[in-house]
Amino acid sequence: MGDSAQDNKREYLEGTRDGIPIALGYFAVAFSLGIAARNIGMTPFQGFLASFLNMASAGEHAGFTSIGAHATYFEIAMVTLIANARYLLMSCSLSQKYPERLPFYHRLLSGFGITDELFGICIARPGWLNPFYLYGAFLISALAWSSGTALGIVMGNMLPARVVSALSVALFGMFLAVIIPPAKKNRVIAALILISFALSLLCGYLPFISGLTAGTRTIILTILIAGGAALMFPVDAAQEA
C-alpha cells in the first residue's frame, strides 16, 4: 500500500469510481426506506442523518419499525445491533487486508464504512488494501443512501409500491457483478457461492433456524462456510498479498 498523498488520492478516486454502481442501487433501495420513515413522522433531515449513520437496510428498517412502535432507546439500540451484527465479522475479515503498520484510526473508520457491497469490492482487490479506496466508495454510497431516504420522505407515497420494489432490483444485479468474476477464476469460490445460496435457502425453511432473524442466519452461515473453507482450502498470506 502506498503512503504518499498521490497514492491515497488515486485510491480514493478509484474507490469513488467503483462505488458509483453501488450508490445507484443504494439510492433506489433507500427511497423505499424513506417512505417507511415518513410513515412514522420523521423529517427529511432526520431520515438523512439516520441513513448516514446506519447504512444497512435491514437494521434501518428494524430501527424505524421500533421507533414507530414507541420502543425505548435501549430496545431500538439492541434491535439495530442484532440486525447489523454481521458487519462485525466483515470488519474482522477486512482488517486482514490491511498491513500491520496501518494506524488504528484507519481501522476504526473502516469499520464504520462497512456494508455488504463495499465489503465485496474491497475484499476482492488484490494485495493490501488502502483505506482511502474504501473511503471513496463509502462517501459516494453514503450520500446516495442518505439522499434516497430523504427524498423518499419528501415524496411520500407518490410512487406505486411496485415501482419502488422494482427499483431495488439494481442492487441484486450489483451483487452478481461482485461475485461472478472471482467465481469464474476460482472453482473453490464458485462452489462455495453455490453452497451458500443453497444453505441460505434451506435455512429459511428449517423449523428452528427459520425463526431467527436474517442477520443472525447470515452470521451462522458465514462462520460455518468461511471456517470450513479456511480449514479445507487455506490461502497462503504471502501469495494473497
Three-state secondary structure of the chain: CCCCHHHHHHHHHHHHHHHHHHHHHHHHHHHHHHHHHHHCCCCHHHHHHHHHHCCCHHHHHHHHHHHHCCCCHHHHHHHHHHHCCHHHHHHHHHHCCCCCCCCHHHHHHHHHCCCHHHHHHHHCCCCCCCHHHHHHHHHHHHHHHHHHHHHHHHHCCCCCHHHHHHHCHHHHHHHHHHHHHHHHHCHHHHHHHHHHHHHHHHHCCCCCHHHCCHHHHHHHHHHHHHHHHHHHCCCCHHHHC
Q: Would you tell me the crossing angle of helices 169-185 and 5-39 to the nearest 10 degrees?
A: 140
For the chain, the structural domain boundaries read 5-167, 186-241
Residue 146's closest CA among 33, 38, 9?
Answer: 33
* Whether 41 contacts 155, CB under 8 Å: no
Q: What is the pLDDT of residue 63?
A: 84
The yes-or-no verdict on residue 172 having pLDDT over 70 is no
The yes-or-no verdict on residue 49 having pLDDT over 90 is yes
Amino acid 47 reads G
* 156 vs 44, residue with greater confidence: 44
- The model's confidence at residue 143, banded by pLDDT at 50, 70 and 90, is very high
- 34: phi then psi, degrees, rounded to nearest 5: -65, -35
* 162 vs 188, residue with greater confidence: 188
* Burial class of residue 199 (count of CB atoms within 10 Å of its CB; 0-12, 13-18, 19+): middle
Q: What is the pLDDT of residue 60?
A: 84
DSSP state of 199: H
- The model's confidence at residue 170, banded by pLDDT at 50, 70 and 90, is low
Could you read off the pLDDT of 12-26 as tens digits, one per residue? 999 999 999 889 888
Q: What is the pLDDT of residue 177?
A: 67
Could you read off the pLDDT of 186-223 as tens digits, one per residue? 888 889 889 988 998 898 888 888 887 766 777 788 78
Amino acid 122 reads C
Query: Could you please report the per-residue DSSP string of 146-159?
Result: HHHHHHHHHHTT-S
